[in-house]
Amino acid sequence: MRIGKIFFSLLTLSIATNLFAKDWYKEFDQKIAKLDVDQENFIIKLEELASRYKEELSNREKECLGEFSSFVEDENDKKIIKKVKLTESEKRLCQVALITHQRKFVSAAFELRKKYLVHRHEQEISILDKMKNSTIKNLKDKAQTLQ
């Protein structure tokens, strides 16, 4: 029976650890890293990613607060569904991990938006310079025809 309790405790810890396992974090980290400000529809792609992240985060927050069902073997080696409830410390640990990753995601999204704005600003200035040079050339040409 003691082995069952140890197994159950390890299972609970394993479930709590899986809640903030890096798998889903890595998925979003990789997706945001792949975004490029030169991509067509960059803003739309970033917004879609942020929306999916928000949905996933909402699901993870629910997991951090709720109960979980798992398959556990009883004394007769039968698999049964066992409800596992996180302890308060596991809940807090899970929530802290979510907040930590959320801060990382928000920072990465902010930096991308900032990079995009700088990129767009440079493009607009380049267009403005071309317009200025073209206008000045036209005015010089017009002035020369009058001389």
- The 10s digit of each residue's pLDDT in 97-114 is 999 999 999 999 999 999
Helix/strand/coil for 80: strand
Note whether residue 146 is domain-resident.
no
In whole angstroms, give the CA distance from residue 120 to residue 37: 9
In whole angstroms, give the CA distance from residue 58 to residue 130: 48
Note whether residue 142 is domain-resident.
no
Give the total number of structural domains in the chain.
1
As given in the structure block, the two tokens for residue 12 are 């609970």
Note whether residue 37 is domain-resident.
yes
Note whether residue 60 is domain-resident.
yes
Note whether residue 136 is domain-resident.
no
Note whether residue 84 is domain-resident.
yes
Least confident range from 47-56, 80-89, 91-100, 137-146: namely 80-89
Note whether residue 135 is domain-resident.
no
Note whether residue 61 is domain-resident.
yes
Length of the chain, in residues: 147
Residue bearing tokens 């991308």:
112
- For residue 71, the model assigns a pLDDT of 57
Determine if residue 74 is left, alpha or beta; phi over 0 gives left, psi from -120 to 50 gives alpha, anything else beta: beta
Q: Show the domain range for 89.
A: 2-121
Q: What is the mean pLDDT of the chain?
A: 82
Residue bearing tokens 């803003």:
43
Closest CA to 35 of 24, 47, 53: 47
- For residue 130, the model assigns a pLDDT of 97
pLDDT in tens, 21-72: 557 788 888 999 999 988 889 999 999 999 999 998 988 888 888 766 555 6
The stretch 69-95 carries a mean pLDDT of 76
Name the more confident of 141 and 75.
141
